[in-house]
C-alpha cells in the first residue's frame, strides 16, 4: 500500500513539474534580472562606504537573500541611498 501511494505521488509530482516547467524558468529569469539590477544599484548607492558592499557579487548575496527570505542581517545598507534602494528592492521582490 505504501509503495503504491509513493509511486502515485512521484508520478503526480513529475507531471506537475513538467506542466509548469516554462513558468519555473520564467521565475528564475525574473529573479536573476532583479538580482543583477538591485545588486548593482546597492553597490553604487553604498560606494562611498565600502564596509559591507565591497563588490557587486556581495550585492548579489544581499539581493538574493533579501528577495527570497527576510534577510539574514549580515549585509545591509547603511546610507540614505542604500535605504532607498533597499526599500524599492523589497517592494519589487515582495
Q: Kindly report, residue by residue over 23-40, the tens digit of the pLDDT.
A: 999 999 998 998 999 999
Instruction: Please tell me the total count of domains within the chain.
Output: 1
Asked whether residue 10 is domain-assigned, the answer is: no
b/e per residue 13-29 (b: at least 16 CB within 10 A) = eeeeeeeeeeeeeeeee
Q: Does 54 map to a domain?
A: yes
The answer to whether residue 16 is domain-embedded is no
Structural domain contains residue 87: yes
Say what the pTM is: 0.74
pLDDT (0 to 100) of residue 89:
86
| pLDDT by residue, tens only, the chain of 94 residues | 667 888 889 899 999 999 999 999 999 999 899 899 999 999 999 888 878 888 888 888 888 888 877 777 788 888 898 889 988 888 887 6
* 85 lies in some domain: yes
Q: For residue 64, tell me if it sits in a domain.
A: yes
Domain with residue 81: its CATH number is 1.10.287.70
Q: Which domain holds residue 50?
A: 25-93
Cell 535605504 belongs to 83
Q: Under 8 Å CB-to-CB from 20, ≥6 apart: which residues? A: none
Amino acid at each position: 500500500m505504501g509503495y503504491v501511494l509513493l509511486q502515485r505521488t512521484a508520478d503526480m509530482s513529475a507531471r506537475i513539474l513538467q506542466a509548469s516547467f516554462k513558468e519555473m524558468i520564467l521565475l528564475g529569469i525574473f529573479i536573476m534580472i532583479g538580482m543583477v539590477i538591485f545588486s548593482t544599484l546597492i553597490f553604487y548607492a553604498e560606494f562611498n562606504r565600502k564596509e559591507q558592499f565591497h563588490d557587486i557579487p556581495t550585492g548579489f548575496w544581499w539581493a538574493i537573500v533579501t528577495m527570497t527570505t527576510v534577510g539574514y542581517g549580515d549585509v545591509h545598507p547603511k546610507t540614505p541611498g542604500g535605504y532607498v534602494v533597499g526599500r524599492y528592492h523589497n517592494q519589487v521582490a515582495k
